Chains A and B, each alone.
Chain A
């Protein structure tokens, strides 16, 4: 399964196969600036520093131009990584908004089964 590394803080987050960057980050308990989540508003653009992505829906040219694609702009709500990728958020940091989700997402990735006593009690 691919991972996405999110700059500027270098946070590495595991994704499911076929999952968009946006969906995977939120499933893991993280947040950043997003809008329509359907490829229309362009607010969730990030820079793709390494790796490749595919788009699981048609993305409008007036949202993401061919030039932007060629120069590494990535529309994160529709972008599905092909293998590991590194992205950089624009003028913001990835925010961890749910330690509970992050904890169980890590557990589901097989990085240890959470014991009840060690589970976080709040997000």
Chain B
């Protein structure tokens, strides 16, 4: 099985003009298309047409997409997702602008996720022939790429099982009520590659999203992002700080509609045979916010 990564996140925004200002001028993504009431963006270190889709009206997640390497993978995903008991349908090329045909799955948590094999290539902003290290005139925080999302589900174990059985993701870290085999799973961080997470799942109301994250190049860029948020009056939830979970450095912040975003850098190299880290509730404060070591009142309750 060969899912490559989370390729796009599609969210609703209440005011498109403000959202374009945020994702374009503050986050520093490049707008690649505006069509049928949707606006499409990509980061400078991404080569496919888009990684963020905004749609006006409401707030929260519409769906997200995962790219597979080979069209032949889709048959297997369709069969396994059906066997799992998810709602599965074929989607045709063009249902999503610039995106190939694929498989659409409605998870038991009601989240919609799509698997596709190709998207119109746009190219890296630095090109691929003798490239420079980064574009000279980055805007805002200059986010290079979409990294992961944390979605919210009533039954975390069930959604973890979906990503394991259907698309071969593996957990790198988990939050559980104890170390016992039958402990209740509160959250899980899962990857398909060697980063800490492509998707994470937190216990809570079905269909919600906690945040989606952009990968930054390091701690210096996280601090710089914090400065830009101050200049742009972007509401910051917490940070700059470090997560105990994943060891990543972070700022959580909100877009103008209240969708939570994250800048994330670091983490560590993950492998399938690496032992899974387990966090238990007495250390959850340190796990989420490593320096303050206590949860703020928003982390477990604020989502869209």
- Residues of A near any B CB (own CB < 8 A): 33-41, 43, 57-63
In the complex, which of the residues A35, A39, A61 contacts B257, with contact meaning CB atoms closer than 8 Å? A39
Pick from A33, A41, A57: contact of B303, CB below 8 A: A41
A30 to chain B, nearest CB (A): 15
Q: Quick one: given A35-B298, A41-B302, A43-B298, are A57 and B258 in contact (CB under 8 Å)? A: no
The A/B interface has a contact count, at CB < 8 Å, of 63
* Residue in B15, B59, B254 whose CB lies within 8 Å of A37: B254
A39: B residues at CB distance < 8 A: 14, 59, 257-258
Complex CA–CA separation, A60 to B304 (angstroms):
11
In contact, A36 and B254 (Cβ under 8 angstroms): yes
Q: List, in ascending order, chain A residues with CB within 8 A of B301's CB.
A: 35, 43
State which of B57, B59, B297, B298 has its C-beta within 8 Å of the C-beta of A40. Answer: B59
A107 CA to B15 CA, complexed, in Å: 36
Provided the pairs A60-B59, A62-B60, A63-B59 are in contact, do residues A40 and B259 lie with their beta carbons within 8 angstroms?
yes
B255 within 8 A of A: yes
User: Residues of A contacting B303 with CB < 8 Å?
Assistant: 41
Q: Does B235 contact A (CB under 8 A)?
A: yes
Q: What is the bound-complex CA distance between A62 and B57, given in angstroms?
A: 10
B218 at interface, CB cutoff 8 A:
no
B89 to chain A, nearest CB (A): 24
Checking A35, A37, A58 against B14 with a beta-carbon cut-off of 8 angstroms, the contacting residue is: A58
